[in-house]
Amino acid sequence: MSLRGVTLWCVWLCLLEVSVGTVRKYKFDVQYMYGEPDCVEQVVIGINGHFPGPTITAEEGDTLHIILTNKLFTEGTVLHWHGIRQYGTPWADGTASISQCAIAPGESFHYRFTVDRAGTYFYHGHYGLQRTAGLYGFLIVDLAKGKKEAFGYDGEFNLLLSDWWHKTTREQELGLSSIPFRWVNEPQSLLMNGRGQYNCSMAANVMNTSLPQCKFRGNEKCAPQIFYVHPNKTYRIRIASTTSLASLNLAIGNHKLVVVEADGNYVKPFTVDDMDIYSGETYSVLVTTNQDPNNNYWISIGVRGRKPNTPQGLTILNYKTNPATVFPTSPPPITPQWDDYNHSKTFTYKIFSLKGTEKPPKYYDRRLLLLNTQNLVRGYTKWAINNVSLALPSTPYLGSIKFNFNGSFDTKNPPNTFSEDYDIYNPPLNPNANTGSGVYMFQLNQVVDVILQNANVMKGKGSEIHPWHLHGHDFWVLGYGDGRFEEGDERKFNLKNPPLRNNVVVFPYGWTALRFRADNPGVWPFHCHIEPHLFMGMGVIFAEALLNVKRIPSEALACGLLRNMSITKKHN
């Protein structure tokens, strides 16, 4: 080959590498291990011997190749890549019975997908209550080289928030599936980056509490991770909430938080003293270290939206001008009253998209009004959407719909709305609810509006916060309202600068409106991100343009009715 030919070949290879990005390979062994997340030893689910799992880092455009081996002894597993849209790879979404078969003990599965957009994401188990047991970790996607963020900063660190129980997930699952019903109750502790404290407080000496002062030697697995900063610098804190149940409030003593990113999308920056963060949400905030450099400061998280029985989670922002062993001399920030929903709404209503963000279509093609209620179904306590409690089939939807397998799920269309005379404040004690596995089918590029309607729980015990997550898409949050949604409420919709999210909160006795374009062929769950609520049926299934799905790995669908079918030649 001539020198000119060699040069052109090299240029072509370089262009190819730029166009497809780097392939980043990880090997994950999911296994039981002993841990002490809150100073109490118990069994957790870790990855490669670590809890939380390893942080995955990549640049936008890269391809991730994660080889997951299930080393759990008695149960299947999957990993969901939360916030990654999976264009062209719906089988890699990591949802058991939806996008793939659960990976059996001793078996391996190859997840291959492209991270097409920079942002703060995470991964977690999506089988049973495995997220509750500790199966999660960060996934950080940086901008491609040569690109600049919409904001400047001097350094960054990650903050992964979770809640923790001493009751095993097997026991929790049994209680949720029993007659009489046994609720999981409140978590014993709150964790930051997998570390928390039980039956002691780091701030006992400076606050009014019955808990004793925590005493650390320094090598405990539950000892707080200290965040080291220099004075007069700006730091980006990437935050993700993997909580199973708790809504949280985050604050840093004496420091303002500037919110700049939500669920992988830039938002119009705004400044707050504290912020609420719901399960499944991710944020980036900027913190400027402009306080007295002779002090250290508390980073605190506390429970919101539920009457708390769990102490604050605490760690320290350490100005490097001080020893990290010096605790702050002031009490931690006070978590707002758990039922001060006006405080929560004030924060949420400040989130708007950054100028230049794609705007929503002006009109929708189809609308769903989804009412979430608590019901008794054949004596079992369930959550239901329009009186249908989701029960996942043994054959993954992706294969059943793609290959027209009848009998694997309910073919009757689930209801698009609920009764016009339904009283959200005084619902009937036991509505006529059933379990079901039906699917909402959308045409490619159809614009869909979803109105999430909250109501009273069973037996009139109040209404709860529900954070909802949509797989495979971002959506525009068009608006919120109190009471029952009415047609006239459309006038309140924000079509100018609504935030793009993949998680959204529904407040007690309220509604939330969102809009998305069904532009991603596949099958995608839309569900409450509170782990026990999804386990009890609070979710629906969306499917769109399955004829456009290509190259499904055979191992993704080798279970249920598809177990003995060769799919290799039927979908390429």
- Residue 567, pLDDT > 60, answer no
Average pLDDT, integer, range 296-304: 98
Q: Which of 511, 498, 492 is nearest to 450 (CA)?
A: 511
Query: Which two tokens mark 257?
Result: 């938080």
Per the model's pLDDT, the better-predicted residue between 429 and 287 turns out to be 287
Predicted pLDDT at 218: 75
* Coil, helix or strand at residue 363: coil
Kindly report the average pLDDT of the chain as a whole number.
93
Q: Is the pLDDT confidence value at 518 over 50?
A: yes
Q: pLDDT exceeding 70 applies to what percent of the chain?
A: 94
pLDDT score recorded for residue 219: 83
Encoded tokens for 548: 């456009």
| pLDDT given for residue 460 in this prediction | 66
Contacts of 389 (CB under 8 A, 6+ apart): 375, 377, 382, 383, 433, 434, 435, 436, 536, 537, 538
Domain boundaries, the chain: 23-142, 155-349, 366-557
Q: Indicate if the pLDDT at residue 312 is higher than 90.
A: yes
Contacts of 278 (CB under 8 A, 6+ apart): 241, 247, 248, 465, 467, 503, 505, 529
To which H or E segment does residue 411 belong? Answer: none
The answer to whether residue 570 scores a pLDDT higher than 80 is: no
Domains 155-349 and 366-557 share a fold: yes
CATH fourth-level superfamily of 366-557: Cupredoxins -  blue copper proteins (2.60.40.420)
Distance of alpha carbon 295 from alpha carbon 356, whole angstroms = 40
DSSP string, 44-79: EEEETTBSSPPPEEEETT-EEEEEEEE--SS--B-E
What is the pLDDT at residue 405?
85
- Supply the pTM of this predicted model: 0.94
Q: Which CATH superfamily is domain 23-142 in?
A: Cupredoxins -  blue copper proteins (2.60.40.420)
Q: Tell me the pLDDT tens digit for each residue of 167-207.
A: 999 999 999 999 999 999 999 999 999 999 999 999 999 99
Structure tokens at 291: 């306080």
Name which CATH class applies to 155-349: mainly beta
- Reply yes or no on whether the pLDDT at 53 is more than 60: yes
Which is it for strands 388-390 and 434-436: parallel, antiparallel or unpaired? parallel
